[in-house]
Structure 1
Amino acid sequence: MAGKLTVLSLCSILATLAILCLSSEAGAVVYQVTNTAPATPGGARFDKEIGTAYSIRTLQSAAEFIWQTFQQNTPADRKSVERVSLIVDDMEGIAYTVGNEIHLSARFVAGYSGNLRDIAGVLYHEAAHIWQWNGNGQAPGGLIEGIADYVRLKAGLMPSHWVKPGGGDRWDQGYDVTARFLDYLESLENGFVAELNDIMRTGYSDDFFMQLLGKTVDQLWAEYKAQYPTKKALLFWTKFTLSSLPEFQS
C-alpha cells in the first residue's frame, strides 16, 4: 500500500510540475512559467488567480509592446532571446530579473490588490529589462529602471502611488521619477526613448542626450522641472522677486 501511495504521490508531483512548467511559443521566443512555492499562500494564490496561461499571454503581449516602443520591427533589431522564464519564488520584495529569468515574489502575490493589472504592470517592467540594452553595463541603474517603468507608463499600467509629472530630485533617480522625465523627453522628440535604447546597445554616455536632443541631460532636467514648479520653488521665486523691488530693498 505504501508503495502504491509513493507512486501516486510521485505521479501527482510530476503532474503538478507539468502543469506549472507549461510553455508557449511566440515566434522564436519560448515562454515558461514555474511556481516553486505552490504550498505558500502566495504560490497558491498565483495558481488560483493568475496562473500559467495568463502569465504567458502577458509576457507575450509585453514583448510585442516593448518591441513596438523600442521601434524594433525585426528580430535583427532586438536582443537574441530564445526563452523567457517566469519563476514564482518564496522571497522578499516584488520581482527582479536576471538574464532572461523573471523572479516574482510569492509573498507579493499573497498581498497584492487582486487587480491583475498590478501583476501585468510588474511583468511589463521586468520584461523590459530582458529586452532593453544597458550600455554594456555602463548605463546608470536609475536610467535602466526608468526605461523599464517608462514601458509600464506607456502601457497604461502604472500604479496610483507613482509620483506626478515633475516629481523627484534627480533625472537618474530611477523608476517612476525617471519614467516621467523620459516621457517628457519623448514629447520633445518622438522616438527619443527608442533611439536612446538603440545607442545604448554598445555603451553609454550622458552625451547621448546632447546627441539626440541638442542639450545636456542636466539642462533638460532643469527645463522639465521648471514646467512643474513646486510650492517651495514658487515661494523662493516670490521672495526673490519681491526682494528685487525698490520698496522692499533697504
Structure 2
Amino acid sequence: MKKVIFLSTFLIFAISAVSNAQSTEVLNKKGYKLTVINQDAAFDKAEIVKLEETFFEVYPRLEKEYNKKTLKEVTFLIDTAYGGVAETGGGVVKFSSKYMTKHPKDIDVVTHEVMHIVQGYGDGAGPGWLTEGIADYARNKFGVDNAGANWTLPAFKSTQNYDNAYRVTARFLIWIEKNVKPNLVKTFDKQLRDHTFTDDSWKKETGKTVDELWAAYAANPAI
C-alpha cells in the first residue's frame, strides 16, 4: 500500500514538473495565429510578451511588403536544449532560452527569423548567403529595437565579401538599392520564392555581375 501511495505521489509530482516546465499559449490577432511553447519554466514571462508583441508588429508588415501568401499560423518554441541563437523551419521558430535570457534586448531575432517564414523559398532556390542577407536586410529595415540590442550593420572592411551573408550581405544590398537598382531586394525575394533566380539575375537586373557590383561597392562603400 505504501508503495502504491509513493508511486502515485511520484507520478503526480512528475506530471506537475512537466506541466510547469512546458507551457503553451495560443494568440489570435490581426488574422494570425501564434502558438508559443515554452520549455523553460524559469524563462522571463515579460520576455515572452516581448516576443509576441514583436511578432504581431513586424510579421504583418513583412507580409505586406514581400509575400501576401505567407503562413498565417506560426509557432514559437523556446527551447532549453538548442545551442544556437534561433532557427526557423516549417513555420516554427526555435529560440534558445539560454541566449534570449542572456540577451533579452535582442528582440529583433524575431524579425530576422519570421522573415525566413515570409521568404518561404524552399530547397534549391538560391544561395544561402543571399537568403540570410535578405533576412538581415529586413531586420535592419523593419526591426523594432535594433538599437536596444546594439545591433548595427558593420562598416565595410577589405576582408569582407558579398557572400559573407547576414549583415555584410545586407549592407551590400542596401548600397545596391541606393546607388544602382532600387527595390532589388523585393525583386530577388520574389525570384527566389518562384525559383527563377540564377547567378545571371544580378546582371539582368543591374547591368553588372555580382563581382562587378562588389568591386564598385568596395571602391565607395558609403550608404
Shared fold (TM-score, shorter chain, > 0.5): yes
Say if 2:24 and 2:36, in contact at 8 Å, map to a contact too.
yes
Equivalent residue pairs, number: 210
- Structure 1 unaligned regions, length at least 5: 39-43, 230-250
Say if 1:136 and 1:200, in contact at 8 Å, map to a contact too.
no
Q: TM (normalized to structure 2)?
A: 0.80
Say if 1:84 and 1:101, in contact at 8 Å, map to a contact too.
yes
Identity %: 28
Of the structure 1 ranges 210-219 and 128-137, higher mean CA displacement relative to structure 2 is found in 128-137
**CA-to-aligned-CA distance 1:82-129 (integer Å, 9 cap, x gap):** 4211101112121111221111001112322x43xx1x2101011111
- Which residue among 176, 181, 185 is the counterpart of 1:189? 181
Match of 2:47 in 1: 50
- Which residue among 141, 144, 154 is the counterpart of 2:128? 141
Which runs of structure 2 are paired with 1:173-188 in the superposition (5 Å)? Answer: 173-187=164-178, 188=180
Of the structure 1 ranges 198-207 and 174-183, higher mean CA displacement relative to structure 2 is found in 198-207
- Which residue among 20, 25, 31 is the counterpart of 2:28? 25
**CA-to-aligned-CA distance 1:207-243 (integer Å, 9 cap, x gap):** 11222222211111111111139xxxxxxxxxxxxxx
The AA in structure 2 aligned to 1:174 is A
**Based on CA coordinates, which of the two structures has the bigger radius of gyration?**
1
Of the structure 1 ranges 57-66 and 20-29, higher mean CA displacement relative to structure 2 is found in 20-29
Deviation at 1:183, TM superposition (A): 1.0
Q: TM (normalized to structure 1)?
A: 0.72
**CA-to-aligned-CA distance 1:24-75 (integer Å, 9 cap, x gap):** 223543111111122xxxxx1x334312x332221122212312442x4xx3
Match of 2:154 in 1: 164
Match of 1:213 in 2: 206
2:186 and 2:221 map into 1 onto residues whose CA distance is 25
* Change in CA separation of 1:181 and 1:133 when aligned onto 2, cut-off 3 Å: farther
Match of 1:123 in 2: 110
When you count helix as a share of all residues, which structure comes out higher? 1
Say if 1:136 and 1:201, in contact at 8 Å, map to a contact too.
no
1:144 and 1:163 map into 2 onto residues whose CA distance is 16
- Structure 2 unaligned regions, length at least 5: none
Instruction: Give the RMSD, CA atoms, in angstroms.
Output: 2.8
1:29 and 1:5 map into 2 onto residues whose CA distance is 40
